[in-house]
Structure 1
Amino acid sequence: MEYRRLGASGLQVPVLSFGAGTFGGQGPLFSAWGDTGISEARRLVDLCLEAGVTLFDTADVYSNGASEEVLGAAIKGRRDQVLISTKASLPTGDGPQDAGSSRARLIRATESALRRLGTDYIDLFQLHAFDAGTPIEEVLSTLDQLVRQGKIRYVGASNFAGWQLMKSLAIADRHGYPRHVVHQAYYSLVGRDYEWELMPLAVDQNVSTMVWSPLGWGRLTGKVRRGQPLPKESRLHQTATMSPVVDDEHLYRVIDVLDDISKETGKSVPQIALNWLTTRPTVGSVIIGARNEAQLRDNLGAVGWSLSKEHLAKLEAVSFQTPPYPYTPYYNLDGFTRLNPPLFPRPKDVKP
């Protein structure tokens, strides 16, 4: 397993991490993700540790805290072998203190997470969303307090817009508060919007990315095919209306190329899609999920080998989509690219 440093920190994490959103299985959304109990969770943690996957990601909103509880039980007795990442900010109830990143909410959320996880510290605590109603100074000073108390060790953000993340980093620098070392964001072969602004920002500010839903909300599992109905077990039946829109024809073109590369390499479609992400700038760790041992074993096979330059070029070309203004000149005009060199070449066969 390859390990990478998160941003400008000394924290080293595996290039694949495990997402515990399938643990617990409470509520209409998260029960569609999975309903892994403690016994099976222990087995999945065993497999992860055997493969060198030591980072486990969860959140208070996953199954109303049950994900944290199951994860805590699954790692009991081996806390020193794992890194725990959890998140808070999204609503967990209807009360005024049940949502957001106020001082009161973050302190209570941290204490609750520690209790559910059965630990006295959290390795990586991330804001699950930007709270426009709370001053950033209040948010960051609270995180600073929690770090100084030893309850959390590193801080990060998730699902922030570029200006929200940059403003948070600037205020952290101004006051000497802990900087976000990671931004957890959606990124996949069929969802490359992350590259338009968040990736250049992450390069400039040395913020790593933890990628969630790397298989495009289940579109790149290898079970979705042109002209075929969705498999009965696909989570897209429950989550398609929540996920970013993907044009069907664009999806099928990407899948066609993944199928071709799969035949040439002997690797599965999900393994190829995950491996591609590990080659992208700023990516520190790709969060894999699994509802069972077979899925986990397949996902773990996404590392330890490399796609060829030819395969990478094919994936780049088929998945590329011209971004909107003001990012379009970044790709299309020599004057703009001279001032702002792209992080990777534009596919030669993609026309402006």
Structure 2
Amino acid sequence: MEFRRLGRSGLSVSEISYGNWITHGSQVEEEQAHACVRAALDSGITTFDTADVYANTKAEEVLGRALAGQRRESLEIFTKVYWPTGPGGPNDKGLGRKHIMESANASLRRLKTDYVDLYQAHRFDSSVPLEETMLAFADLVRAGKVLYIGVSEWKADQISRGAALARELKVPFVSNQPQYSMLWRVIESQVVPTCEREGMSQIVWSPIAQGVLTGKYLPGQAPPAGSRATDEQGKNFIARLMRDDVLERVQQLKPIAEDVGLSMAQLAIAWVLQNPNVASAIIGATRPEQVTENVKAAGVRLDAEVLDRIDKVLDGIVQDDPRLGG
């Protein structure tokens, strides 16, 4: 495993991080979830990402139990706030002070820790004054419950506004967590330059495009039983990629992966890590062996010729419109 600094902060994170969106507390039984976390630890992963909304708080609980007994100082634990997790009351969602404070305390209880290394605003909340949101985050840092703050799926202008307030409060943003893959590059033109200017890194999710970039989905054929495309939650996110024109192009990436000695998934993860603004790529897993295989993308360097071949194969199907982000 290799490590990168998160933005201009002093926090180092593993190039590959483990996330439990969709899997823990819903798609994967607890014993299997614990086995995946053990595989991540054994593979050198130290960075673990979750959110209170995943499986309606159950994912945090599972991760807390799975990490019990580990040396806390050797881990970086990330979580998020924004989406509703309670019975749906008026203060059960968003980035108002009440919801942020109550959500942070609840996340700490579920994760069985006194602090999280990174607390992220899961989306931008235009219904709440940004000053209120940023002051609540700053107070959590000063209380020692949060070490660093970041955002997830904010647009470039939102990042700029939030980062300015964060600097004033002496708790600068260190990261953004966007979707990013060979097929989904909407952050490249605006978000990445903004984050570079603000001293923030990307912690990217879905680097293998919900499994599409593994090549397991074949054009003209039904998705394999038990795959993300058949999962009630996952299929909504993957539907826009389950087109024959996309799947046909993905199959053309196989010779490239073979030439560089990587699996399709490893190639996809290594590709996002070529972007110097990416600090870590989040992988999920339903089986421990998936973790063991995918972490082999850490430290891989793809030369310019390989990157050019990938671009030529995917020309015309890549999504890069910045309006699609957030």
| Fold conserved between structures, TM > 0.5 | yes
TM alignment of 1:1-352, pairs within 5 A: 1-25=1-25, 31=26, 34-37=27-30, 39-78=31-70, 79-93=72-86, 94-173=88-167, 175-237=168-230, 238=232, 239-243=234-238, 245-246=240-241, 248=243, 250-320=245-315, 321=318
Equivalent-residue separation in structure 2 for 1:81 and 1:149 (angstroms): 21
Could you say which residue in structure 2 is the equivalent of 1:341?
A: none
Match of 1:345 in 2: none
How far apart, in 2, do the equivalents of 1:227 and 1:185 lie?
Answer: 30
**Secondary structure of the structure 2 residue equivalent to 1:17:** strand
Structure 1 window deviating more from structure 2 (1-10 vs 291-300): it is 291-300
1:100 shift after superposition: 0.4
Compare 224-233 and 57-66 and name the one that shifted more.
224-233
Gaps of 5+ in 1: 26-30, 327-352
- Higher-Rg structure is 1
Greater length-normalized contact order (CA 8 Å, ≥ 6 residues apart): 2
Q: CA 1:197 to 1:136, structure 2 compared with 1: closer, same or farther past 3 Å?
A: same
Equivalent residue pairs, number = 317
The 10-residue stretch of structure 1 (295-304 or 179-188) with the greater mean CA deviation from structure 2: 295-304
Distance 1:133 1:255, change over 3 A: same
**AA of the residue aligned to 1:286:** A
Cα distance in structure 2, aligned partners of 1:279 and 1:86: 25
TM-score calculated relative to the size of structure 2: 0.91
> 2: distance between equivalents of 1:163 and 1:176?
19
Unaligned regions of 5+ residues in structure 2, if any? Answer: none
SS in 2 for 1:186: coil
Paired residue type of 1:267: L
Separation in structure 1 between the aligned mates of residue 260 and residue 8 of structure 2, nearest angstrom: 35
SS in 1 for 2:13: strand
TM norm structure 1:
0.84
Aligned residues with identical type, % of pairs: 37
Q: What's the C-alpha RMSD, in Å, of the aligned pairs?
A: 2.0
Q: Deviations over 1:16-57 (max 9, x none)?
A: 0000225543xxxxx3xx2240x3333322222222210000
- Structure 1 CA distance for aligned equivalents of residues 48 and 178 of structure 2: 16
**Is residue 187–residue 322 contact of structure 2 (8 Å, CA) maintained in 1?**
no
* Large movers: runs of 4+ above 6 Å: none
Distance, in Å, in 2 between the alignment partners of 1:206 and 1:285 is 15
CA drift of 1:199 comes to: 1.4
Structure 2 counterpart of 1:192, one-letter code: R
